Amino acid sequence: MSLFKQLFIAICVLMLVNFTGSFLVSVESSREQQVNQLRAHAQDAATALGLSLSPHVNDVAMIELMVSSIFDSGYFESIRVVDPANGKLLVERVGVPVSGEAPQWFARLVDLAPARGDAIVSDGWRQAAQVQVISHPLFAVGKLWQSALGNLLWLALSGVFCVALGVLLLKRQLRPLDYMVEQSNAIARREFLSLPELPKTPEFRRVVNAMNQMVGKLKALFAEEAARSEVLRAEAYQDSLTGLANRRYFDLQLHARLSVEEQACSGFLLLLRLNDLAGLNQRLGGQRTDQLLKAVAELLQQSSQGRFVLARNRGGEFAILAAGLEHGEAQQLAENLERALSSLQQTGASDCLPVAHIGLTAFAPGDESQDLYRALDTALAQAASQAQPNWAFSAARASAQEGNERQNWYRLLDQALEQGRLQLFFQPVVAAGEPERVLHHKVLARVLDEQGKLLAAGRFLPWLERFGWSSRLDLAMLEQVLQQMASHTAAVALSLSGHTVREPQALARLYELLQQHRHLGSRLSLELDEDQLPEQAELEVLTQRLRSLGFSLGLQHFGGRFSMIGNLAKLGLAYLKVDGSYIRAIDQENDKRLFIEAMQRAANSIDLPLIAERVETEGEWQVLRAMGIEGVQGRLFGEPGPWV
């Protein structure tokens, strides 16, 4: 029972005891007063009647008349006039008054006895008669009943008022306890809340102050771990001068697009090279040259608008990994970069900007990175050998061929989504310390082509994004997952695209499906890619709505934007899945291990589980298990396959 309920019951009990005692004392006091009044009433009536009868002691008719007059004018049970010498009854009136206001149960409860009064009727010096008067308690019981009702009403109103006032005061005084409970729940949800206004009660003030200090220390510890992890990530994967990714990070992302089935996709590579950078450094100095490189990096960021992977390979060489780009879009990107570089020189951002050439080449799953770099070098050489433009393709597809490919993919994917030619594959995600214990199964999509062959997600996802059908795929997969979950009890995780959470209609349909299957909330978690997260406010609304429906949200392919973990801490995420590029060969590269260890410490400080993606070797698994990673996912623990 809560402290509020205990105090409330205590107040009610005390008020009830006080009310009962006050009421009983008041009733008993009124009863004694009424008894005394009954006695005085009977005695006064007897005395007055005795004096009135003295002149008429021998007139029996007059005695009867006067006795009747007294009897009818008051509440009397009986009036008797007797001869004191022999006890002979001279006159008697007996009767019961008209029923009073008080109920019979109250009259029996107070038990007022009739009062008696006596008086002597004198005839000179002789006692001629004796008057005996007995008052009926009906009138006193009525007065006592009215008094009791008045006391009851007053005590009840005052009691209700005191209880209400006590409840309000209790709520006000116990409000810090409610906030401390919210603080504790917020810490469990990876939020850090502090009570800005300390309560005036000294005991609560000390407790709240201690809680605020604890929350502040936890928040500082988490921020410190997050900052340390971000520093390690920047040292390992970021160019210190321009803020772009370095060659190592670029190669990891390229390898993921080429060799990983689920993340594989086609697109274009662009290599921008500033010629004679060493000579420019000698002529202008290192500081001016650094400003030039920063200006070019900013230009690339503005041109990509966060869609592509940007990196500075070395010196004046910049690389762009444009996944999902078509031939015409890649050509447009090269032309925009050429114009932007020319505009950079004309606006005086760099008065001695060297000649820049751009090489382009297409890539697809299964290509070798060495072949792609050789193709880029060939394209750069071709661009340098021609007057205009300053960019060139190493090998360009014929536009007609690409147009046919686009039409074929459009027809195939449209029919697959309309006819339900999707097949779900499941890959186990297991506990790192107990690989036999499955945490959940990752849901993967396959599409049946016209020949009945299964196409991996890496082949058709880029085309779905180009056609704007990502939300159609998400909703179709969700419907199939919910249907299949009815036949088994395993937990599953389903990825959502950024388009689904940004499109109001698709999001409304998503909520509708989840609302219809709320009973599956404990076994179904949804996932978003790190690079497809909506704005912070929208993300908070999304997580709150999912929690209200009973479902959880996790992030996958995490690591490139680790600095945002401070904002993610208060969302109550189910887990973070670390991108496989940070896991590959972690047993051989110490800096990767340091980065993941720092990430693990930061996640542990807010009780956020980490799951490693694409664990492929025994050595990687052993290192991750020693770090205390919650779960692992990869071909080492199970190939994707249909549900059995």
pLDDT, one tens digit per residue, over 365-411 is: 778 888 888 888 888 888 888 777 888 887 634 444 455 677 888 88
Amino acid at 373: Y
Q: What is the mean pLDDT of residues 602-627?
A: 88
Fold of the 3-161 domain: Translation Initiation Factor IF3 (3.30.110)
Q: How would residue 237 be classed by pLDDT, with cut points 50, 70 and 90?
A: confident
Give me the pLDDT at residue 349, please. 47
How do the domains of the chain map onto residue ranges?
3-161, 238-397, 405-633
Q: Is the pLDDT of residue 581 over 50?
A: yes
Give me the pLDDT at residue 341, please. 82
Nearest to 444 by CA among 610, 558, 613: 613
Give me the pLDDT at residue 553, please. 92
Give me the pLDDT at residue 254, please. 86
Nearest to 252 by CA among 620, 623, 559: 559
Same fold, 3-161 and 405-633: no
Collapsing DSSP to helix, strand or coil, 495 comes out as strand
Q: How would residue 187 be classed by pLDDT, with cut points 50, 70 and 90?
A: low
Judge if pTM exceeds 0.75: no
Greater confidence, 210 or 395?
210
Alpha helices for 420-496 (secondary structure H)? 457-467, 470-485
Going through 46-166 in order, the beta strands assigned E by DSSP cover 76-82, 89-94, 115-123, 126-135
Q: What is the mean pLDDT of residues 494-520?
A: 92
* Burial (CB count within 10 angstroms: exposed 0-12, middle 13-18, buried 19+), residue 368: exposed
Least confident of 16-20, 138-142, 255-259, 339-343: 138-142
Extract the tokens encoding 199.
């309560």
pLDDT, one tens digit per residue, over 327-362 is: 888 888 888 888 888 777 655 444 556 678 889 998
Greater confidence, 180 or 534?
534
- Mean pLDDT of all residues belonging to the chain: 81
Q: What is the mean pLDDT of residues 268-296?
A: 81
Cα-based distances in Å from 596 to 45, 213, 233, 434, 602: 106, 29, 9, 20, 10
Q: Is 550 left (phi over 0), alpha (psi -120 to 50) or beta?
A: left
Nearest to 549 by CA among 573, 577, 518: 518
Give me the pLDDT at residue 105, please. 76
Give me the pLDDT at residue 251, please. 87
Give me the pLDDT at residue 399, please. 42
Q: How would residue 422 be classed by pLDDT, with cut points 50, 70 and 90?
A: confident
Fold of the 405-633 domain: TIM Barrel (3.20.20)
Phi, psi of 239 (to 5 degrees): -75, 125
Interatomic CA distance for residues 144 and 134, integer angstroms: 19
Give me the pLDDT at residue 400, please. 42
Q: What is the mean pLDDT of residues 579-588?
A: 88
Looking at the chain, the whole-number percentage of residues with pLDDT higher than 70 is: 88
- Asked whether 393 and 358 are in contact (CB, 8 A), the reply is no
CA angle 187, 599, 618 (to 5 degrees): 125
- Asked whether 195 and 208 are in contact (CB, 8 A), the reply is yes
Give me the pLDDT at residue 397, please. 42
Q: How would residue 189 be classed by pLDDT, with cut points 50, 70 and 90?
A: low
- Asked whether 557 and 256 are in contact (CB, 8 A), the reply is no
Q: Dihedral angle at the C-alpha atoms of 38, 43, 45, 47, nearest 10 degrees?
A: -170
Q: What is the mean pLDDT of residues 191-213?
A: 72
Looking at the chain, the whole-number percentage of residues with pLDDT higher than 90 is: 16
Nearest to 222 by CA among 621, 611, 599, 628: 599
Give me the pLDDT at residue 1, please. 66
Q: What is the DSSP string of 80-101?
A: EEE-TTT--EEEEEE--PPP-S
Around Cβ 43, how many Cβ atoms within 10 Å? 17
Q: What is the mean pLDDT of residues 302-325?
A: 85
Our measurement of the distance from residue 61's CA atom to the centroid of its chain's CA atoms, rounded to an integer in Å, reads: 97
Give me the pLDDT at residue 552, please. 92
Fold of the 238-397 domain: Alpha-Beta Plaits (3.30.70)
CA angle 578, 580, 585 (to 5 degrees): 120
Intra-chain end-to-end CA distance of the chain, in Å: 48
Greater confidence, 614 or 32?
614
Around Cβ 221, how many Cβ atoms within 10 Å? 14
Q: Side-chain half-sphere of 400: how many Cα atoms within 13 Å? A: 0
